Amino acid sequence: MEAAAASSQARAWPHDILLLYAARGVRGFGDGFAIILLPAYLSAIGYDPVEIGVVATASLLGSAVFTLAVGQLGARFDLRNLLLGGAGLMALTGAAFPQFEHLAFVVLVAFIGTINPSTGDIGVLVPLEHAMLAHGVPDRQRTRAFARYSLIGALATAAGALAAAAPDFLVAAGIGKIAAFRLMFYFYAVLGLVSAVLYQRLPHARAAEARPSTGLGPSRGIVYKLALLFSLDAFAGGFVVQSLLALWLFERFDLSLSAASLFFFWSSVLSAFSYPVAAWLSTRIGLVNTMVFTHIPSSICLILAAFSPNLAITLTLLLVRSALSQMDVPTRTSYVMAVVTPPERTAAASVTAVPRSLASSLSPALAGALLAGAFPGLPLVLCGVLKIVYDLALLLSFRHVKPPEEVA
């Protein structure tokens, strides 16, 4: 009887999975406009690129720290209650940002809050949603469930990017520019409350108790080398997190919010649909080759965009980059899980993800300083060059380390 009850509790009804998908969409929509409006708002209240870079770094560093913390709490506390707490934090973040203008307070809100300057889906709610989703579907449906989850998030983020144009319409209606930005942050807070309503309807659940981890064993060398390379990639990516890329476009081409929102909409759409393409391509040329030979052209496009004097050409290069640059995301995760033994997978995921999150938080502050220099496109060049170095190092180091499905 107890076993049957436990089995029943460990499998959510499809209704509950739909609630998680809906919450992911709501969050993605909020993130889509917040990461564009953040640099525009900070510029409007007098922040320079260096200070905006510091805020971006604080946000990424806070996301990494709190994600690690919640990863530990998730195994011991009710997942629904933790999700509700995260949604409350989202609401408080949106409500708090408009209240402060002093750099120290803004940095503190950015560190503690949920607004993230990166397009990647990281933050306090991500591991909780992942745990709840894995808890609620049978093993045979897990991969498809996560694929839908990621696609919904990416498309919702694209829709949110379109909403970043709303301040332009509010200004045209007679509302002050800064007041319009603050209204959007309050709307972000409302989306946090909507997420809380959705989470409230989820069942109580705890992450399944895992067997004691044996840590890394025979794959230790491979995992440490991958972690080092992934950290280089993440450090490079920190130079062009989406908020700083938006800031560069604002200052380099005087791009309007409406135009920026449309650009980032299509950028997110292209990234979203690159995920299934990457899965298809990896079955034909292999995981490492897919990571490398889609990444290098995207980095070249980024470097060329830094030197382009024409807005149309720049946006075209950046859109091509968006269609290619995220194809390494599903292939990277799959590769790590494939080249380690099953008992090492949990440890491998942690060892490769944590340094990556921390590395990505180091470069935005430096990028902000470079944006204020004589050549504002230098962060784009540094990002592209470092990513190409990463890709070549990955190819040289792991071209002969094949996952099981690629071994003849």
For 75, 101, 287, 332, 336, the CA distances from 391, given in Å and listed in that order, are 35, 40, 13, 12, 16
**Class of domain 9-205 as given by CATH:** mainly alpha
CA 3 to each of CA 6, 7, 9, 10, 151: distance values in angstroms, whole numbers, following the listed order: 5, 6, 10, 10, 34
Q: 293-326, pLDDT tens digit by residue?
A: 999 999 999 999 999 999 999 999 999 999 998 8
Per-residue pLDDT at 138 exceeds 90: no
User: Could you read off the pLDDT of 91-102 as tens digits, one per residue?
Assistant: 999 999 999 999
pLDDT band at residue 142 using 50, 70 and 90 as cut-offs: low
Instruction: Among 53-57, 130-134, 210-214, name the one with the lowest average pLDDT.
Output: 210-214
Structure confidence at residue 208 (pLDDT): 47
Is the pLDDT score of 5 beyond 60?
no
Question: 135 falls in which pLDDT band (50, 70, 90)?
Answer: low
Lowest mean pLDDT across 68-72, 159-163, 328-332, 376-380: 68-72
Cα–Cα distance for residue pair 146/129, rounded to 1 Å: 10
- How far is the CA of 135 from the CAs of 15, 205, 342, in angstroms? 14, 8, 19
**Mean pLDDT value across residues 331-340:** 81
Contact partners, residue 109, CB within 8 Å, separation at least 6: 93, 96, 97, 100
Task: Give φ, ψ of 259 to 5 degrees.
Answer: -65, -40
Higher local confidence (pLDDT), 76 or 113 = 113
* pLDDT tens for each residue of 252-286: 999 998 999 999 999 989 988 888 888 888 888 98
Please write the tens of the pLDDT for every residue from 110-128: 999 988 777 656 677 877 7
Task: Kindly list the domain boundaries of the chain, sorted by start residue.
Answer: 9-205, 216-408
Mean pLDDT on 32-59: 92
Q: What is the pLDDT of residue 240?
A: 93
| Helical segments of 116-255, H only | 125-136, 139-163, 166-172, 177-200, 220-237, 242-253
- The mean pLDDT value for 7-30 works out to 77
Q: How far apart are CA 62 and CA 40, in angstroms?
A: 21
Residue of 74 and 5 predicted with greater confidence: 74
Specify the pLDDT at position 345.
65
Mean local confidence (pLDDT), 3-12: 42
What is the pLDDT confidence band of residue 383, given thresholds at 50, 70 and 90? very high
**DSSP annotation string for 219-244:** THHHHHHHHHHHHHHHHHHGGG-HHH
- DSSP code string of 261-279: HHHHHHHHHHHHHHHHHHH
pLDDT band at residue 88 using 50, 70 and 90 as cut-offs: very high
Q: Which residue has the higher pLDDT, 228 or 124?
A: 228
- The pLDDT > 90 percentage for the chain reads 52
- Note the pLDDT of residue 226: 93
Q: Do domains 9-205 and 216-408 have the same CATH topology?
A: yes
pTM: predicted TM-score of the whole model, two decimal places? 0.76
Least confident window among 30-44, 164-178, 302-316, 340-354: 340-354
- Average pLDDT score, the chain: 85
Looking at domain 216-408, its CATH architecture is Up-down Bundle (1.20)
pLDDT at site 116: 79
Q: How many CB atoms lie within 10 A of CB 237?
A: 22
pLDDT of 11 reads 46
Quick one: pLDDT at residue 370? 93
Please give the pLDDT value at position 387: 97
What pLDDT score was predicted for residue 173? 93
Q: Are 117 and 38 in contact (CB under 8 A)?
A: yes
**Whose structure tokens read 């708090």?**
96
Residues 144-198 have pLDDT tens digits of: 676 678 788 889 999 999 999 999 999 999 999 999 999 999 999 999 999 999 9
Q: What is the pLDDT of residues 392-407, one digit of tens each?
A: 999 999 989 888 878 7
If one compares 199 and 151, the residue with the highest pLDDT of the two is 199
pLDDT at 216: 66
